[in-house]
Amino acid sequence: MITSVKMCVLGVAMLGGTESDDLTGRWVGAWMLPGGDSRDLVLSVESVGKGRFVGRVVSLAGGIQPQPLPSLSIAGDVVRFEPAVGDGRLQFRGKRSEDGQSLSGTVTGGALASPGVFHLDHRPMVRTMPDHIVYGVDIPVTEDDLVPLTVHLRRRDDGWLGEVDFPESGVLGYPVDVQGTNGVLMLSLPSLAAGDPVALTMQPGEPMVTGLWGRGQRVRVVELQRDRSTPTRRPQVPVAPYSWRERSVQVESTGEPTLSGVLAMPLGAGPFPLAVLLGEADTDRNGTIDEHPLLLVLTKALTDAGIATLRLDDGGTDFVARRRGLRRWMEWVAEQPDIDARYVAMIGHGQGGSIAARHVAAFDEGVTAVVLLSSPGLPGRIIESTRLRSLLVQSDVDAKMIDDVITAYEAYLDYAIKSVHVDALRESAKTWLDAQRSALGLSGTTSAQEVQSAVDRAQDSTWRFWLSYDPRATMPRVRGVPILAMQGDQDATFDAGANLKALVDSASSRGVSIEPRLLPGVNHLLQPVGASPSHSSKRIRMTIAPSTLRSLLEWIKPQLIRNPTTIRTGPDTQ
């Protein structure tokens, strides 16, 4: 994948003669070093008036990242520019042909023993043409990673012109070859790394068109949206009409609040196995976080596999209330004729996983399997303390001062758990905040508002429960039910490895069957983020890493579908 670059101020060149006016536009071709392979090269020159020009250059296969050209120099028909390549620079010097449609010259600099050559041809810029067509699409560059791509097309009497943008990487207006046959276009896209071009096949015209992307055996179906510079719909999120049947349901009991949810059923005749889906604290029935409906995406994958799902509306922050509601839901499930109550799983994300495990520990009937997704394995007080220590270490705070801050913070957490008198709590909060301010080298004193904020949080019953609840006491009691625990190694909410180990150690000590999976390059929401997450969850296109979704399905289907002939193969989970 192309390394992201920061957009800089474009370099400005002064014109040495009016005969160079028509150098503006897109120049496309290749460059070659002695004894080396030909590499792509795209030079963009734009007039900004009064003989001033700006320029950009990129060579995907040649290692020249998209960049402005502060060194751009134009004197008559002679053009010079020096792009950065790695830690060095190359010098390109070329001259226009007599017809003004090509630019050729030499490449020197760096560690080159002898000069290379380059040749560029002038091409019109599609994005500046009237009536050109724009499509946005997500390109799957790896199993889990999508790259937004914008396609610009313009039809001419002699065929089609095309160029593409990779907006997240700063590659804009990259020319592509377009071949058209009977209204179907095949675009030869540049490889995102050194390698052969990749084909995108599409038939333009409709607001939403289906295309094929890839090469060889790695051809994938993609959706292109017209008049969108980047796609707006997340690719995994299903839209109505759904590929399953669903109905709203309610559970009413005397003296108890009414529960509501939605039951999604696969197409065909039941009864079906069921997965009860439990979201993170304070989420809706779809488990939506940062505009990603995690449980809705799970519903599509599970119903495509022949498994019904139950999504609940009671996804508040009160752990005890949610657990009591789940008990009533399971009584309702046992009475449904279209559900095979012998095969019921619970799949919980975050707090939802903790609630599922706690339910099975208390009631050992009616549940066939449990899946814990990004669920904590340690008490909240340990997670909070570890998180603060990590932040202080990242801030280069002295080790002795870190210990002093953590000691004061843990005392404050203990007071919160014990719900001590407010005056003692306030004094403890101020002691911690004063120590933290001193460790960070902040001037001034801790404000009364900061102390009150800490007091208010410590008096919140939900947060106090989070601090005190210990999953290690629950896991040994989940007897006779297999557990799958999945954690992303890029979880910024807590240390995934330490919490996963705590789940496994506490369960295995009493013979509970648990299968741990630490997922590389996945965050708390189970999104693919790579080894160095930098984007917010909202910016990430995928809701669940496809590899994670496949891994979950491969484990859950044998638990719930005991007759292989009933397994229905649905669409690709991506």
Q: Residue 99 and residue 379: Cα distance in Å, rounded?
A: 75
Q: Which helix (H) or strand (E) holds 143?
A: none
The confidence band for 489, taking pLDDT boundaries of 50, 70 and 90, is very high
pLDDT (tens digit per residue) in 494-504: 999 999 999 99
Please say whether the beta carbons of 148 and 136 come within 8 A: yes
pTM, rounded to two decimals? 0.71
Please say whether the beta carbons of 526 and 374 come within 8 A: yes
Q: What is the full DSSP assignment across 320-378?
A: HHHHHHHHHHHHHHTT-TTEEEEEEEEEEETHHHHHHHHHHHH--SS--EEEEES--SS
Comparing CA positions, the residue from 237, 243, 240, 322 lying closest to residue 283 is 322
Q: Do domains 11-123 and 245-378+470-566 have the same CATH topology?
A: no
Per the model's pLDDT, the better-predicted residue between 365 and 58 turns out to be 58
> In the beta sheet, which residues pair with residue 200?
187, 213
Q: Angle at Cα 211 formed by Cα 209 and Cα 216, nearest 5°?
A: 175
Residues in the chain, total: 574
Alpha-helix residue ranges (DSSP H) falling in 104-217:
none
Residue 291 C-beta-side C-alpha neighbours within 13 Å: 11
> In the beta sheet, which residues pair with residue 136?
150, 225
Query: What's the pLDDT score for residue 366?
Result: 86
The confidence band for 19, taking pLDDT boundaries of 50, 70 and 90, is very low
In sequence order, the 6+-apart residues with CB closer than 8 A to the CB of 313 are 259, 260, 261, 284, 285
In this prediction, what percent of the chain has a pLDDT beyond 70?
A: 89
Residue 31 has pLDDT above 60, yes or no: yes
Q: Residue 359 and residue 327: Cα distance in Å, rounded?
A: 7
Average pLDDT over residues 195-202: 76
Query: What's the pLDDT score for residue 17?
Result: 39
Q: Where are the domains of the chain?
A: 11-123, 126-226, 245-378+470-566, 380-468
The confidence band for 11, taking pLDDT boundaries of 50, 70 and 90, is very low
In this prediction, what percent of the chain has a pLDDT beyond 90?
A: 50
Please say whether the beta carbons of 159 and 62 come within 8 A: no
Comparing CA positions, the residue from 294, 350, 311 lying closest to residue 469 is 350
Q: Residue 248 and residue 24: Cα distance in Å, rounded?
A: 61
Look up residue 83 and give its two tokens: 């792009």
pLDDT (tens digit per residue) in 518-529: 999 999 999 988
Query: What's the pLDDT score for residue 18?
Result: 37
Phi, psi of 519 (to 5 degrees): -95, 120
Query: What's the pLDDT score for residue 206?
Result: 84
Query: What's the pLDDT score for residue 232?
Result: 62
Query: What's the pLDDT score for residue 473?
Result: 94
The confidence band for 191, taking pLDDT boundaries of 50, 70 and 90, is low
> In the beta sheet, which residues pair with residue 134?
152
The confidence band for 216, taking pLDDT boundaries of 50, 70 and 90, is low
Query: What's the pLDDT score for residue 233?
Result: 66
pLDDT (tens digit per residue) in 366-401: 899 999 999 999 999 999 999 999 999 989 999 999
Look up residue 189 and give its two tokens: 């896209």
Q: How far is CA 81 from CA 12, 43, 64, 544, in A?
A: 11, 10, 13, 44
Q: What's the N-to-C CA distance of the chain in angstroms?
A: 19
Query: What's the pLDDT score for residue 214?
Result: 77
Per the model's pLDDT, the better-predicted residue between 147 and 106 turns out to be 106
pLDDT (tens digit per residue) in 419-431: 889 999 999 999 9
Query: What's the pLDDT score for residue 209?
Result: 85
b/e per residue, 290-323, with b = 16+ CB within 10 A?
eebbbbbbbbbbbbbbbbbbbbbbbbebebeebb
Average pLDDT over residues 252-257: 87
Query: What's the pLDDT score for residue 13?
Result: 47
Q: Residue 251 and residue 239: Cα distance in Å, rounded?
A: 27
pLDDT (tens digit per residue) in 87-107: 888 999 999 998 889 999 999
pLDDT (tens digit per residue) in 175-188: 888 998 888 999 88
Query: What's the pLDDT score for residue 315?
Result: 65
Show contacts of 538-543: CB within 8 Å, 24+ apart: 538/290, 538/291, 540/292, 541/138, 541/146, 541/148, 541/231, 541/234, 541/235, 542/144, 542/145, 542/146, 542/234, 542/235, 542/236, 543/234, 543/236, 543/237, 543/292, 543/293, 543/294, 543/297
The confidence band for 534, taking pLDDT boundaries of 50, 70 and 90, is low
- Specify burial of residue 337 (Cβ count, 10 A radius: 0-12, 13-18, 19+): exposed
Residue 547 has pLDDT above 50, yes or no: yes
Average pLDDT over residues 448-471: 92
Q: At residue 204, what is the residue type?
A: P
The confidence band for 36, taking pLDDT boundaries of 50, 70 and 90, is confident
DSSP-based three-state secondary structure for 510: coil
CB atoms within 10 A of CB 28: 19
DSSP-based three-state secondary structure for 379: coil
245-378+470-566: CATH number: 3.40.50.1820
Comparing CA positions, the residue from 94, 120, 108, 111 lying closest to residue 39 is 120
DSSP state at residue 511 = T
Residue 62 has pLDDT above 50, yes or no: yes
Q: Has domain 11-123 been given CATH number 1.10.540.10?
A: no
What is the rounded average pLDDT for all residues in the chain? 85
Q: Residue 432 and residue 446: Cα distance in Å, rounded?
A: 10
Average pLDDT over residues 206-219: 78
Q: 37-46, 122-131, 210-219, 385-394 — which one is most confidently predicted on average?
A: 385-394
In sequence order, the 6+-apart residues with CB closer than 8 A to the CB of 200 are 137, 139, 151, 186, 187, 189, 211, 212, 213, 222
DSSP-based three-state secondary structure for 78: strand
